[in-house]
Structure 1
Amino acid sequence: MSTAHANAEMKSWDEHTWDGKRYDEVTGPKQTVGGMTTAYTGDLDATGDLRFVMSYSDDDSCVTTGYEVVTGTLNGREGSFVLHHTGDFHDGVASSTFTVTSATGDLAGLTGTGRITWPQGEPGRFELDHDLR
């Protein structure tokens, strides 16, 4: 088992309530859907395309689940893989745990789990504990 580390930089964010309003135009409890594009640098040099569903208990906290397609290079091997995320946002920090669900290219056979921690206004910190057959 190896651990890959990378920084994460948000490149785009799109989040709306079920009825199409921007997430920040609706206060209080709500459910939203959206997407985010991320640039990863480090042991993982890649772009991530995440689609998610969020459930807010109030304006400052939520739980989320989603799938991210990551395309690029992991420790020098090129391909793509899919991560299933489960996470939350509390006290200004987004955090998620994830599992690799599939992989292609030189990354075919990749398995693993990991975590990302993302303090608001700062780069995210990505870690993936993985095996590659």
Structure 2
Amino acid sequence: MKKPKYIFELEMEVRDYECDLQGIVNNANYQHYTEHTRHAFLHSIGMSFAEMHNAGTDAVVAQNNMRFKAPLHSDDRFVSRLAMEREGLRYVFYQDIFLLPEDKMIFSSKVDVVCLVNGKLGLCKELDDKVSALEKSL
């Protein structure tokens, strides 16, 4: 997988209830972390997942490829970083999680998202425009 150019990051902390009997974060929670990061990214560019839905656009995960490199534990602080590109009708999010303060990569994923615009596969022009403007400013 190519090295992504991150355009957003969000710091978080592991909560006790996210850990399993082994004392490590249950694998399903990494999808929660990456989804929360995508939604926070939308807010950072002036969009809202809920408002997109109300306007007739539903962004849905079509594919998720995850790689677990090391576990997170209760109270660990970490940063979730996001890069994205568009490939045809897919919005491809490269999302990596790094343990803090070491900045050690512990999780990596490639998430393909598609948009249903009024029930039909399509593009979200507002997202395209805002991401394009963000990339030009970096």
Normalised by the size of structure 1, how large is the TM-score?
0.31
Task: Please state which structure has a larger fraction of its residues in helix.
Answer: 2
Task: Please state which structure has a larger fraction of its residues in strand.
Answer: 1
Relative contact order, higher structure (CA 8 A, sep 6+): 2
Normalised by the size of structure 2, how large is the TM-score?
0.30
